[in-house]
Copies of this chain bind each other. A is one copy, B any other.
Amino acid sequence: MRYANTHKDETRKKLLASSRAIAKKGGFNSTGVDALMSSIGLTGGAFYSHFPSKQALFEALIEEEMQNSSDMLAGGEDSPDNHVAKCLRDYLSTFHAMHPEVGCVLPTLGAEIARAGPEVRATVERALKHTQKSWSARVGDPDAAWALIAQCVGALVLARAVESDKTRKEILASSRRFLDNAQMKDLNKKA
């Protein structure tokens, strides 16, 4: 063979990594296969050795993204008591708002997910429920767990939709303070 055993895997990994960033920044539909491939130094035609269609890439991409987010947010058994508070602080940061390419998929691709097929949405649902369950155990309130997730996603959407830095920061800070004031098991311990 002209290429090493690991070559295909590595290309696929690079393609996924690069596509995730590009799609989160500019939208998935709005980005062409050529652009995705040239971002890893290849041409458009080579794409179809890795995925049967652009849609298949979307599915793989969302699965990977949700897996990552959900693992990070849910946290392990060894996570500190203030794990949720830490997640909220990071999620609701200016850095996150300013860098969609390395952030959560939901604020950027949520609408495209909503329009996607049942398999994609089932993947998203599984991951969300995983986070919600974990947070529910930590904060001692299943409703609050869903509400925290919603609050985070919504605040990011708003923060990115406004024009001024001032308002952006205000939205994020207000969300953080609001959640800090909510009485939940571990939220009031210092992050």
- Chain A residues with CB under 8 Å of chain B are 26-27, 29-30, 100, 106-115, 118, 121-122, 124-125, 128-129, 142-147, 149-155, 157-158, 160-164, 167, 170-171, 173-175, 177-179, 181-182
Contacts and interface: CB of A to CB of B under 8 A. Distances in A.
Contact of A151 (B26, B113, B154, B177): B154
By CB atoms of chain B within 10 A, which of A26, A143, A164 has the most? A143
Contacts of A113: 161
B167 A26 contact: no
Contact of A157 (B30, B106, B122, B177): B106
B158 A157 contact: no
Interface of A is mostly: helix
Contacts of A142: 174
A108 B174 CA distance: 23
A165 to B, nearest CB: 11
B149 A158 contact: yes
A139 to B, nearest CB: 11
Nearest to A109: B111
Contacts of A152: 154
A150 B155 contact: yes
